[in-house]
Amino acid sequence: MPTGFSSTILRFDTIDSTNLEAIRQARVGAPEGLCVIAREQSVGRGRLDRTWHSPKDAGLYFSIVLRPKLPMNLWPLLPLVSALAVSDALMKSCGLRADIKWPNDILANERKLCGILAETLETASGAAAIIGIGINLTKAAVPEALRSNATSLEEMMGHQIDGERILTELLETIAERYQVLQSEGGAEHTIREWCGNSSYAFDRVVRVSSDHDSFEGRTRGLQGDGALRVETGDGKLRVVRAGDVTAVRATTNSASSESNL
């Protein structure tokens, strides 16, 4: 554990959102490392006010408070580090090799297995980041309407997986990756690792969509702050800092397989 990392875990049967609770805790001075876990969320949240489906005991619903000692321009690397930590934890606990879709979705067989919501806030004891992680454990975690685009560990592994096992690994892998990020050369290392663990880093044909824009192009790696570089058909390089990325073609064949969550 990094020095000063709290080992406190607050456990709830039901909560609105573990991220909201972590924000409340951070506001009243929670130290970094404090975790919030719930068996179900009534208002599980995704990015941009979207919903994260969080039925009871069907997923791991987890948030952690961080107080990074990093320049603000490197804070966008926190969700990338978190995605790497989830990927490490899935490999260690289940032997599952997952993919990372920019910026921080965890995919298995091109379907979403885990989502990450990173939020920042000012508190009396300084700026804090809340990293919320939702991992689908059982098939019940995935709503009917999302079955073609989302999956669970149960579906991937063919049997139920103990969420506590994943949690134990995750607490370690987050602490490790976070410590590396904050060490000398940590940002560059994190970018290299992310690129090495994501099929989306290079040469992937994607559609990028945001509120006011939508375009297609080929991925060309990451900027130093984690933004995605995408080369459009006219040879221009666009730098994407926010928005949704969807694969237009799978890397392994040329069949069109657009997928969106």
Q: Which residues bind ligand BT5 (CB under 6 A)?
A: 17-19, 41, 44-48, 50-53, 61-63, 105, 112, 115-117, 132-134, 136, 141-142, 146, 150, 261
Cα 148 from chain centroid (whole Å): 20
> What's phi and psi for 60, nearest 5 deg?
-95, 120
Q: Which residues contact 105 (CB under 8 A, 6 or more apart)?
A: 83, 112, 114, 115, 116, 261
Spatial separation of the C-alpha atoms in residues 197 and 133, rounded to whole Å: 18
146: three-class secondary structure by DSSP: helix
Cβ closest to ligand BT5, residue 135 vs residue 230: 135
Nearest to 261 by CA among 104, 40, 94: 104
Nearest approach, Cβ of 236 to ligand BT5 (angstroms)? 26
Nearest approach, Cβ of 14 to ligand BT5 (angstroms)? 13
Q: Which DSSP string corresponds to 119-133?
A: EEEEETTEEEEEEEE
Nearest approach, Cβ of 56 to ligand BT5 (angstroms)? 13
Nearest approach, Cβ of 3 to ligand BT5 (angstroms)? 26
Cβ closest to ligand BT5, residue 63 vs residue 219: 63
Vertex 84 angle, CA 167 and 253, to 5° = 120
Residue nearest to ligand BT5 (CB): 115
Cβ closest to ligand BT5, residue 157 vs residue 180: 157
Nearest approach, Cβ of 173 to ligand BT5 (angstroms)? 17
Cβ closest to ligand BT5, residue 42 vs residue 183: 42
Cβ closest to ligand BT5, residue 151 vs residue 197: 151
Tokens of 53: 């489906």
